Amino acid sequence: MEEPLTVTQLNTRVRALLSSTPDVRDIWVSGEISNLTRASSGHYYFVLKDATGEVRCALFARARSRVDFEPRENMKVLAFGSADLYIQRGSYQFIVENMRRSGIGELYQAYVELKNRLEGEGLFDPARKKTLPKYPRRIGVVTSETGAVIHDIITTSASRFPADIILAPAQVQGEGAAATIVSGIRLLDRFGVDVIIVGRGGGSLEDLWPFNEESVARAIFECSTPIVSAVGHETDFTIADFVADVRAPTPTGAAAIILRDRAEIRSQLNRDMANAERALRSVLDRMRASFDVLDARLSPERASRDLDLKGMSLDDWWGRVDRSVRSGLSEREHRLALLSARVSVAGASQDIDSRRRALDDIVERIRRAVADGMAKRASGLAVLDARVSPVAAVRDIESRRTRLEATYGRASPVDAARDLRDHRARLDSLFARASSASLETYRSSSSRLESASAGLASLNPTRVMERGYGIILRPDGQVLTSVSDMLVGEKIDIRLRDGTARAAVREITEDRE
């Protein structure tokens, strides 16, 4: 659940929405004054109403000087200003910057109709507006040659970044004025200046009417040179202001917009140099730190220590391999000793003598059996003679002797020596394979260790911060990842590579892309 807002925070957000909505800023509103009150501070508070609605209004003392009449109850007026919200009471109101009496209905209606028609044709489209040159060398001015406008522009130019001022004299009031303004714009456009100022001083709607003519608007739209409109005071809006590439509040303000201040340029250069020096110093510090790390890694002492550690690891591997091979050899030598004991000459001779004694015993027993059988069973002599005759017994003895000699041949010392050599060769091959496998395992483990170390180093958060990144947190330690998590006026901590900075949110702008 999102953290709840306070009433003040809600009112602040609503006021910010009103301030950023162009449809309710710098607009004219017509109506009748009601409930008029004048405060001791010089501020005027009243209600502006029509047949079906009303809105609270405030005319502050600083703006009252622009109104050339005394506001009264039931007076019909045109009020210029912007919608706003009074945070303490949460009330919606209209802040009046200028005010005129009604009575110019026909001119104002003509102004509105022409404005709507030209806007529909795309003459006010921001996409077609041209960019002002950063350092203009020649500035064209369309205004009266006897008025204060040209004098103010020349004075401002001399105090800022001097440029050549080229005047195209024009009539800025009365009948035929629009034609002279159009001629001046086209003349300067053909002459080839860097930017054109079209302007005059303040006045009534009738006085400013030449700059609301359609011919002037179309001449500004068709001009290939960027044009700055500087007509009347800050609260005066003409059709020329909407068509021009840039609107200036006053003619003096137009010169200030076009020409940069020399002191400002010098200050900007100093700031850029300081920023470049800090950036260079930061890069040098990071490079020096990197060189120190590399120097520490590549120093003879570090290399010798790493070599010693690698040697210790290698000794450990060789010790494990040696113990494994020795264990295998001991087992095989034991088995070989048992085999040698089983197939030794002495053992074979003893085995043969034992078998011969057993055979002689069998022969003796057969002979005794034959003698007893012949004495007791004379009737079955033929059968018994066929089964245990001396000839058959001799054949049996010879067969047993042949098998004994074959067994002795298989267990001869020569065969035993040959089997021993075969076992030794297999043991040597196993030892070589174990040594090769141990070395390969050591190399693979070293490579994985170095790769893991490099991966850990790349994931080190301080390395990321050294590239200019940081972490934004609330004072309670919660990490902020989006501007939607912040509030205007909220305290935040900015954690960088070498410390933490405490800051407050002054303004929030979401990236619509």
- DSSP string of 305-364? HHHHHHHHHHHHHHHHHHHHHHHHHHHHHHHHHHHHHHT-HHHHHHHHHHHHHHHHHHHH
Q: List alpha helices for 51-104, DSSP H.
A: 61-64
Q: What is the pLDDT of residue 162?
A: 79
| CB neighbour class for 33 (10 Å; exposed up to 12, middle 13-18, buried from 19) | buried
Question: 166: closest CA among 146, 131, 195?
Answer: 195
Both tokens of 341, joined, read 């004991």
Measure the CA dihedral 129/130/134/138, to 10°.
-120
- Residue 400's pLDDT is 64
Q: How far apart are the first and last CA of the chain?
A: 26
Beta carbons of 117 and 62 less than 8 angstroms apart: no
Which amino acid is it at 426?
R
| Residue 152 CB burial class (10 angstroms; 0-12, 13-18, ≥19) | buried
Among residues 189, 199, 186, the alpha carbon closest in space to that of 142 is found at 199
pLDDT at 388: 45
pLDDT of residue 177: 92
How far is residue 124's CA from residue 243's CA, in Å, rounded to a whole number?
5
SS (H, E, C) 181-220: HHHHHHHHHHHCCCEEEEEECCCCCCCCHHHHCHHHHHHH
* CB 247 within 8 Å of CB 223: no
pLDDT of residue 413: 55
What does the DSSP assignment read for 151-179? HHHHHHHHHSS--EEEEEE---SSTTHHH
DSSP-derived letter for residue 223 is -
Q: Which tokens is 340 given? A: 């040698």
- Secondary structure (3-state) at 418: helix
Question: Which residue numbers in the chain have pLDDT < 50?
Answer: 343, 345, 381, 383-385, 387-388, 411
**Angle at the Cα of 114 (from 113 to 120), degrees rounded to 5?**
95
Q: Is 455 exposed, middle or buried (0-12, 13-18, 19+ CB in 10 A)?
A: exposed
Q: What is residue 315's predicted lDDT score, i.e. its pLDDT?
A: 75
pLDDT at 142: 95
Distances (CA, A) of 325 to 79, 316, 332, 334, 429: 103, 14, 10, 14, 11
